Amino acid sequence: MLGKALAGCGVLLAGTKAARAQAGETRLLMLGDSITAGFGLARPEGPPARIEALLRARGRNVRVIDAGVSGDTTAGGRARIEWALADRPHAAIVALGGNDGLRGLPPSQMRANLVAILDALARRGVPTLLAGMIAPPNLGAEYGREFAGVFDGLARERPDLVFYPFLLDGVAGDPGLNQPDRIHPTARGAEEIARRMLPFIETLLDRVRVPAAG
């Protein structure tokens, strides 16, 4: 009987510790496409998992919510932002636009979708990092300028945003960091994305107030 009682106390204490840890945990939403979803990679190798691992290694109690959907455009992100917010994130990374560029969709349309996403996050008081994207060069210089200008413009207009100019910085175009399709990062590429984004993400997290663990 005593053994059972002690075992029960152990379970109760473990549950209490887990509840306390969860209470002080920061939930970071990463809303994106196949880059976020880690296309071609095991889940622990994708950018959300690598970002979480790097943050925890730096002593931050953060859980990264992987809201990446392969093939998603900014319109898809706009359609599911309310669903994503059901997880009640304390902060968010918006990493969309790559598929808009690959499909040659109008930058004005992409901008409208991003504005709707950012507005939804702002209404909930969720500090946000906007990750920029670059259009494929085959679409022409004018399209490329207009496309990049969407992200630059939003960053200027919304000084409360943390702006990371290019999601694939240091990875795009490097055969050693990309899968054979030359679009999706390898595990090493995903690690590089996480490493380069880390200072910007920490700036974002410094704006978050999470109830302290009891």
The answer to whether 60 touches 22, Cβ cutoff 8 Å, is no
Instruction: Give residue for tokens 């979708």.
Output: 113
Q: Are 148 and 134 in contact (CB under 8 A)?
A: yes
Q: Which residues contact 44 (CB under 8 A, 6 or more apart)?
A: none
Q: Who's near 128: CB < 8 A, 6+ residues apart? A: 91, 92, 93, 94, 118, 121, 122, 160, 161, 162, 204
- The secondary structure of 90-137 as a DSSP string is SEEEEE--HHHHHTT--HHHHHHHHHHHHHHHHHTT--EEEEP----G
Given the residues 33, 90, 100, 184, the one annotated as active site: 184
**CA distances (Å), origin 27, targets 81, 130, 149:** 15, 17, 30
Active-site residue (options: 33, 34, 66, 72): 34
Q: What share of the chain is helix, strand, coil (3-state, %, to 5)?
A: 55, 15, 30
Contact between residue 189 and residue 174 where contact means Cβ atoms under 8 Å apart: yes
Whether 90 sits among the annotated catalytic residues: the reply is no
Question: What is the token pair recorded at 29?
Answer: 């939403």
Q: Is 181 one of the catalytic residues?
A: yes
Q: How many residues does the chain have?
A: 214
Active site residue 119: no
Residues catalogued as catalytic: 34, 181, 184
